[in-house]
Amino acid sequence: MKRRAWIQTGLGLGLMAQGLAHSAAQSSKQAATGLHWQTTTFTGLGTTLSIRAAHEDPQVVACALALARGVVARVEDQMSLFRPYSALQQLNRDNELRNPPADLLRVLEISQRVSAQSKGAFDITVQPLWALYAEAQKRGRLPTEAEVQSARARVGWQHVQVSRERVSFAKPGMRVTLNGIAQGYASDLVRAQLQQAGIAHALINTGEWSSLGQAEGGRDWTLGIADPHQADRLITCLRLRMRGGCVATSADDQCSFSADRVHHHILNPETGYSPRDIASVTVIASTCTEADALTKVFFVAGYENALHTAHTHHVEALVVHKNSQWQATPSLSQHLLA
């Protein structure tokens, strides 16, 4: 599912970095601070990724960015659905994986925790449902009720058995997708790698966003939150404070199975159908891994329960209804720009 590559070309990612292109006047500000800024742009995780970072020593920046790209490649080797020999594909093909690699094991453990906390609203075993909708779309139709229920019978996070020695499925025909969490996890790993390399200022886009320090000129990093129904229009802008924000978004325009977007890539594991009232969710959390996973929880919870769900999970969120109405948690509202 190469949804991220498609949405980024039209700003439908829901977030676009502001201030990545700079004038000569801004260049003079950067010289005054003694920081050298560099950007790397590359393909990975099904989309075009970018990392912009600064350091007093340009060689330190270059080395840090190279190491960061290696981190993303490692995540793909373990969690990609598009690499036939990834660890995840081995699990899906063989119904078990012995001695799972450390990052995959960690993501599976986090997924199990979020699933338990959300009472199954987040579920990495929805891959049979996604595959059903994708195959039906190729045939120019939607799945039948019987087909949906048949696929649902192979879904259930409780039936994934996870340990350091072995990951396996307790039910036949199960399949796992980590598309709803791997990009966030990659962002967290990249941020940690940059910090370890001595980078104090960076903006990281792995399909989800995280930041360190400040942008050029000592400004806050700012992200524009796109209207899911008008890709060239921003709903508002979000200012990331010095704490180093982690932001994830999901929207019904990222991968739709019907022209009206009633059926899309976010699926309620309990019903087998897409939630019907939310168009997009942006979550701000202490980690991108958590923010990425929780966007799906918000979709399943529904628009009326959105702010309560944010309070329950101790995160900030902005939720857009399909009628274009939107709401945000009170604390987040203070960081929004007109």
Task: Read off the pLDDT of residues 124-142 as tens digits, 9 standing for 90 and up.
Answer: 999 999 999 999 999 999 9
Q: What is the mean pLDDT of the chain?
A: 88
What was the pLDDT predicted at 224? Answer: 87
Look at residues 227, 210, 190, 172 and name the one whose alpha carbon lies nearest to residue 286.
Answer: 210
Asked if pLDDT for residue 100 goes beyond 70, the answer is yes
Residue of 117, 144, 171, 116 whose CA lies nearest to 273: 144
Average pLDDT over residues 269-285: 95
Each domain of the chain, given as residue ranges in start order, spans: 82-169
**Spatial distance between the Cα atoms of 254 and 14, rounded to a whole number of angstroms:** 9
Q: Tokens at residue 336, please? A: 């929004």
Return d(Cα 179, Cα 169) in angstroms, integer: 19
Tell me how many helices (H) and strands (E) the chain has. Answer: 11, 15
Chain segment 219-262, per-residue pLDDT in tens: 888 888 888 888 778 888 877 653 567 999 999 988 888 999 99
Classify 82-169 by CATH class.
Answer: mainly alpha
The predicted-structure confidence for 297-331, as pLDDT tens digits, reads as follows: 999 999 999 999 999 999 999 999 999 999 999 98
Q: What share of the chain is helix, strand, coil (3-state, %, to 5)?
A: 40, 25, 35
- For the chain, percent of residues with pLDDT exceeding 90: 75
Per DSSP, helices labelled H in the chain are 3-9, 24-33, 58-79, 87-94, 102-117, 127-138, 145-152, 182-196, 288-301, 306-313, 330-333
Q: Are 226 and 237 in contact (CB under 8 A)?
A: no
